[in-house]
Structure 1
Amino acid sequence: MKKVYFISGTMCTIDLWKLVFSRLKYTNFVHIDITSATSFSDINKLIINAIDAPAIIVGFSLGGFSAMNFAVAYPEMVKELVVIAANSDALDQNEIQLRKSTIDFLEQHKYKGVSKHRIQQFLHPDNYQNENIISVIKKMDSDLGKKVLIRQLKATSSRVDISEHVSKLKVPVLFVSAENDALVSAESIKTTSKTLSKGRYVCIKNCGHMIPLEKFNELSDIINQFI
């Protein structure tokens, strides 16, 4: 069986992947928890300590960027990448300012948990009332809490553009986007995939940002076929 390593996104735990894990074939899956990291350098160290190289790494959102960033820094330690709902761009100034404002607010106020409006930003409209998905998002947020949210926002706000470095990767990289992702442009992910000599691209329709929860059947099939 192949060992495959999974990295979650911001305020996501192993719960993000449970439905995907249940459908993976011939796979020994390992979740890498990056919530303790205070920088991308820390994230790289956590990955190094977790994997048997060369490794197959699957990353979602922040986890996808982290997987690419790790592959750029340690190409000899990566066999294949699956990057889900993530691109190699830097954060734009609006996002950076929003994060600063959010951190300032959180440090001065009680955290009441992820809001309904924020959850809907993650989802396709068809899933706005999907309690199975919503309950997982709320549980992950509650399990991690305010301190982790602040730490993750601070740790990842210095995200720089690694697109040029990613384009030089020689390992197979599968990029998976969602047609209706309001946070990460599917078209931008497609463009990035074309810059790699071994880049592949798949777009999942009728899906928002939370691909592992919204379209776990399709995502599992895609991962099974790639690895």
Structure 2
Amino acid sequence: MQKVYFISGTMCTIDLWQFVFPNLENIKPVHIDITLATSFSEINNIILTEIDEPAIIVGFSLGGFSAMNFAAQHPEKVKNLVVIAANTNGLNDKEIQLRKSTIDFLEKHKYKGISKVRIQQFLHPDNYQNEKVVSIIKKMDSDLGKEVLIRQLKATSSRVDISEEVSKLKIPVLFISAENDALISSKEIKVIANNTLKGRHVSVKNCGHMIPLEKPEEIAEIIKLMI
């Protein structure tokens, strides 16, 4: 049975994949928890200790960026990459300042959990009232809590542009985006895929940022075809 390693995004746990894993016949999914990391260097070390190489890695959002960054640093240890709802861009000054302000606010105030407005930013409008999906997002946020949120924001604020490094990867890289993702541009990801040596791009329709929760069966089928 083929091992495939999964890395979740910011404030996401293994629960992110709960509808994907049951649809992965002949695949043994292994979740890599990066929530304790305080830098991308530490994320790389966590991945190194978890994988059998050469590895097939699937990453979502922050997990997708982390998987690409790892592959760029350790290309010999990766066989295939599946990158979901993530691009290769670094953070601009405005985004860095926003994170600093958010961290400062969180450190001084009680965290009341992810808001309804924030959840809706992650979802396609069709899923605003999808209690199953909404409750999972709330649960992941609650399970991880304020401490992890601050740590992840700090750890990923040093995100640099890795477009050039990823474009030179000699392994297959499948980029999956959602047409209605309000956070990551599907058109931008298509350009990145086209500029990557062995890059391919698949766009998912009627879906927001939380692709593994909103379109799990579709994602499972795409992953099986890639492997």
Scaled to the shorter chain, the TM-score interval is over 0.9
Letter in 2 for 1:209: H
Within-5 A mapping of 1:18-167: 18-167=18-167
1:197 Cα shift? 2.0
Letter in 1 for 2:143: D
Letter in 2 for 1:89: N
Percentage of matched positions with identical amino acids = 73
- Which segment drifts farther, 87-96 or 129-138? 87-96
- Which segment drifts farther, 216-225 or 43-52? 216-225
> Which residue matches 1:9?
9
- With normalisation by structure 2, the TM-score equals 0.99
Letter in 2 for 1:66: S
Q: Deviations over 1:47-93 (max 9, x none)?
A: 00000010000000000000000000000000000000000001122
- With normalisation by structure 1, the TM-score equals 0.99
1:94 Cα shift? 2.3
Tell me the distance in 2 between the aligned counterparts of 1:74 and 1:127: 38
1:198 Cα shift? 1.1
Tell me the distance in 2 between the aligned counterparts of 1:72 and 1:113: 34
Tell me the distance in 2 between the aligned counterparts of 1:25 and 1:89: 33
Q: State the SS of the aligned residue for 1:102.
A: helix
Q: What is the root-mean-square deviation of aligned Cα atoms in Å?
A: 0.6
Letter in 2 for 1:78: V
Tell me the distance in 2 between the aligned counterparts of 1:175 and 1:68: 11
Q: State the SS of the aligned residue for 1:22.
A: helix
Q: Which runs of 4+ in 1 moved over 3 A?
A: none
> Which residue matches 2:172?
172
Structure 1 spans left out of the alignment, 5+ residues:
none
Structure 2 spans left out of the alignment, 5+ residues:
none
